[in-house]
Chains A and B, each alone.
Chain A
């Protein structure tokens, strides 16, 4: 099958409302979004705390966070597999080869991205914001919400980068999820499988969805940042 035929067939599949195909997209979106929703609060809090405080070993923490960005997701998958397998410490949860397992994987894969980007956004912010808030009598909590509000475009970029990382990763979802049809088959694991079976149309259809999602998310970010520039703020 030529690339053209495969692509034409892919669009036909997408618009015919092929149930299996849309089920895969749904599983991918659901696990990515839940994983990201769970990872965002702790990652943003930690990123803020590391950016704002001086403590012994701080540089090591920053270094480790940056390193975690480039951890191969198959390695994360392998560690989680061992933890979740029947004899592993998390075995009793029975999360291996389940959507809960994939969500845990997305949480672990997304957290360092969110943390490192939030850290950079807060660290890059003018120190006078936090100082002004403190000088005007803001509590620690209010200083944090003020600083995160001023760094909001950076934090949004963190969330979008995190989404990009979890929706597109294949290693962890494959190892922890097991690529079970209708249950734990995600866009990326399905593409790998369909390609190995020679079913290129399905793979391309899923690839188109993935690219469309990336375009959508990054377009939204650009629009928001464009508004920030128009308002004379910092993106």
Chain B
């Protein structure tokens, strides 16, 4: 399998404290990973660094074999990597406009945006929310809209921060059911999580962040 993203010498400090010091982080193309570790170990921060939302110190970064920088965050990575918050926030427009936000930002034609948004809403099972005020969505619905909003951009790497945290019952199962279909379109998915059902999904590899080091588990 070809390497999608490789980072060497990734260090993150919070003031004096060294949060993590990772010799090498290597993610393959079209693969799925869970990132585990106790609370406060820096799972979210690691994902945020990969998404260009937090800064960190790195020795080298290569994306699809090309050397890139993390600061300033290059357009190449911005288009390829999408991050989804643990508690996704909805823009106060409409559900459809939320899902189409990234496509509009990329300058896609209106007709194409409309058809891709339709497809994404059907995929996430949120078509019935089309005319609902996004502020009124439940936690599970917000998570599914956020996944659709990210998936519609067909990212090479999708970073999900605790996608099932604070969800239970049907809402949680609906989100878990979407994850394998994300992998099918050739997207590499990294999920920070504690959820055993996500960790146990077939084909998912495990990364563990412990004491500032990254361990690759079978």
What is the interface of chain A, defined by CB distance below 8 A to chain B?
126, 128-129, 131-139, 142, 146, 149-150, 231-233
Residues of B with C-beta under 8 A to A135:
51, 53, 82-84
Residues of A with C-beta under 8 A to B136:
232
Q: Mark B131-150, 1 if CB is under 8 A from A, else 0.
A: 00101100000000000011
Q: Which of B102-138 contact A (CB under 8 A)?
A: 102, 105-106, 133, 135-136
A233–B137 alpha-carbon span in the complex (Å): 12
From the candidates B92, B105, B133, B153, name the one contacting A142 in the complex (CB within 8 A). B105
- Shortest CB–CB separation between residue B173 and chain A, in angstroms? 25
Residues of A with C-beta under 8 A to B89:
126, 128-129, 132
- Shortest CB–CB separation between residue A173 and chain B, in angstroms? 38
Is B216 located at the chain interface by the 8 A CB criterion?
A: no
What is the interface of chain B, defined by CB distance below 8 A to chain A?
51-53, 78-79, 82-85, 87-89, 91-92, 101-102, 105-106, 133, 135-136, 149-150, 153
Q: Is A132's CB under 8 angstroms from B92's CB?
A: no
Given contacts A135-B51, A135-B82, A142-B105, 12 further A-B contacts (CB under 8 A): A128-B87, A129-B89, A132-B89, A133-B105, A136-B149, A137-B79, A139-B105, A146-B91, A150-B92, A231-B133, A231-B135, A233-B135
Q: List 28 A-B contacts (CB under 8 A).
A: A126-B89, A128-B85, A128-B88, A128-B89, A131-B53, A131-B83, A131-B85, A132-B85, A134-B52, A135-B51, A135-B53, A135-B82, A136-B82, A136-B102, A136-B105, A136-B149, A136-B150, A137-B79, A138-B101, A138-B102, A146-B91, A149-B91, A150-B91, A231-B92, A231-B133, A231-B135, A232-B135, A233-B135
A129–B135 alpha-carbon span in the complex (Å): 13
Residues of B with C-beta under 8 A to A133:
101, 105
- Shortest CB–CB separation between residue B190 and chain A, in angstroms? 14
Q: Is A137's CB under 8 angstroms from B133's CB?
A: no
Residues of A with C-beta under 8 A to B150:
136
Output the nearest chain B residue to A230 by Cβ-Cβ distance: B133
Residues of B with C-beta under 8 A to A137:
78-79, 102, 105-106, 153
Residues of A with C-beta under 8 A to B85:
128, 131-132
A133–B101 alpha-carbon span in the complex (Å): 8
A131–B149 alpha-carbon span in the complex (Å): 14
**Top 8 A-B residue pairs of the complex, sorted by shortest distance between their CB atoms:** A136-B102, A232-B135, A128-B89, A138-B105, A135-B83, A137-B105, A137-B102, A233-B92
Q: Is A149's CB under 8 angstroms from B101's CB?
A: no
- Shortest CB–CB separation between residue A12 and chain B, in angstroms? 48
A146–B85 alpha-carbon span in the complex (Å): 17
- Shortest CB–CB separation between residue A229 and chain B, in angstroms? 11
- Shortest CB–CB separation between residue A1 and chain B, in angstroms? 53
Q: Is B53's CB under 8 angstroms from A134's CB?
A: yes
Output the nearest chain A residue to B80 by Cβ-Cβ distance: A137
A2–B86 alpha-carbon span in the complex (Å): 67
Q: Is B88's CB under 8 angstroms from A232's CB?
A: no
A135–B53 alpha-carbon span in the complex (Å): 8
- Shortest CB–CB separation between residue B71 and chain A, in angstroms? 14
A138–B136 alpha-carbon span in the complex (Å): 24
Residues of A with C-beta under 8 A to B78:
134, 137
Residues of B with C-beta under 8 A to A126:
89
Residues of A with C-beta under 8 A to B83:
131, 135
A132–B89 alpha-carbon span in the complex (Å): 8
- Shortest CB–CB separation between residue A235 and chain B, in angstroms? 12
- Shortest CB–CB separation between residue A225 and chain B, in angstroms? 13
**Most chain A CB neighbours (cut-off 10 Å) among B79, B84, B102:** B102
- Shortest CB–CB separation between residue A231 and chain B, in angstroms? 6
- Shortest CB–CB separation between residue B44 and chain A, in angstroms? 12
A134–B91 alpha-carbon span in the complex (Å): 13
